[in-house]
Amino acid sequence: MSDSNQDKNPSALPLLAGGAVFLGIAVFLGWGAWEATHPAPVPLQGMVDARTVAVSAKIPGRLSRVMVREGDTVRAGDAVAEIAIPELEAKLAQVKAQEAAAKAKEELAMTGSRVQEKEAARADWERARAGLTLAEKSYARVSALYKEGLIAAQRHDEVKAQLTAARKLVEAAAAKLSAVEEGARSEDKAAAKALVAQAAGGVSEVSSLAGESTVKSPVAGEVTRIVMEEGEIAPAGFPLVLVTDLSDRWVVFNVRETELPGIEMGTKLTGWLPALDKRVTLKVTWINPRGEYATWRATRQSSGYDVRTFEVRARAEEDLPAMRPGMTVVVER
């Protein structure tokens, strides 16, 4: 009797197992739907950057020597390269010669005539005065005789003309002596000074350019790249060496504007550096839209809008000397 009852009442285990499977499937589908409608925030991924200065030459020339190697640390004002410019050296010698000639002319204008020239001019003046004295005496005698009617009028006129000529000679000799003693005119002296100043300016200009043959780093930092090698022709303004200022570092994030809520000026973020396996506190210091090339365009005007990309810069609040440009920084949202 008991065996027949067991055959008529089947076991509930298969039913329970099926229910459990169905329930598991339902939970799995529900979890998937929740994940699909509530996706996890995508972490921000940025990169460490730093101020990099391109050290260039002001003048073109052949790169004769590179004084640093990649990885070297330099201070502001340290020489990093030398430019060979033989044409500039020749130009410097030329302008220095022009300056010397201008100074000689100025000295001549300021000093005046030589002693011998002054003595010769004085001698001419005294000779003219002696001639004038003789002419005056001759005129006095001839004039007395002419009044008495002892000589002809022509002779009287001749002596009078000689007296006038003697006076003119004295005036000319006196003017010459005065000019020799006074020296050059004020205008000539001013012109000589101007020529010296012009020549000095040329020397200063060429000397300044010649001083640029030694290229110096304007900032302190680390040499991260040697752009040109020795023997190459360096154009003016072309980078020779790249120097990175590791004391001026920041982290760059490219963030779509739909992900910008919560990120403002002064916002603090916690970043993780995989290369150092360290966390660092970052403070947002700069937010600026990127170019049009970084804009996400809507495929259809009716189904969305263009989404711009913003560049967000954040600086570490603590000093991490090991944090170098190029390292990845991840910020969990």
Query: What SS3 state is found at 26?
Result: helix
Q: How far apart are CA 142 and CA 160, in angstroms?
A: 9
Q: How far apart are CA 4 and CA 7, in angstroms?
A: 5
DSSP for 108-171 reads HHHH-S-HHHHHHHHHHHHHHHHHHHHHHHHHHHHHHHHHTT-S-HHHHHHHHHHHHHHHHHHH
Task: Please give the pLDDT value at position 71.
Answer: 93
Q: What is the pTM assigned to this prediction? A: 0.56
Question: Which residues does residue 329 pair with via DSSP β-bridges, in sequence order?
Answer: 46
DSSP 197: H
Token couple for 205 = 């200009």
Q: Reduce the secondary structure of 275-329 to three states and give it as a string.
A: CCCEEEEEEEEEEEECCHHHCECCCCHHHCCCECEEEEEEEECCCCCCCCCCCEE
Q: How far apart are CA 101 and CA 195, in angstroms?
A: 9
Query: What SS3 state is found at 46?
Result: strand
Closest by alpha carbon to 285, among 319, 259, 251, 320?
A: 251
Task: Please give the pLDDT value at position 1.
Answer: 46
Count how many residues are written for the chain. 333
* pLDDT tens digits in sequence order for the chain, 333 residues long: 445 455 555 566 776 777 777 777 777 777 766 666 655 667 889 999 999 999 998 888 889 999 999 999 999 999 999 988 776 677 777 888 877 887 777 676 666 556 667 677 778 888 888 888 888 888 888 888 778 777 888 888 888 888 888 888 888 888 877 776 665 566 666 777 778 788 788 777 777 777 778 899 999 999 999 999 999 998 888 999 999 999 899 999 999 888 888 899 999 999 999 999 999 999 999 999 887 665 655 445 555 667 888 999 999 998 888 999 999 999 987
Cβ–Cβ < 8 Å for 271, 288: no
221-226 and 214-216 beta bridge pairing: unpaired
Token couple for 146 = 């002419």
Closest by alpha carbon to 261, among 287, 281, 236?
A: 287
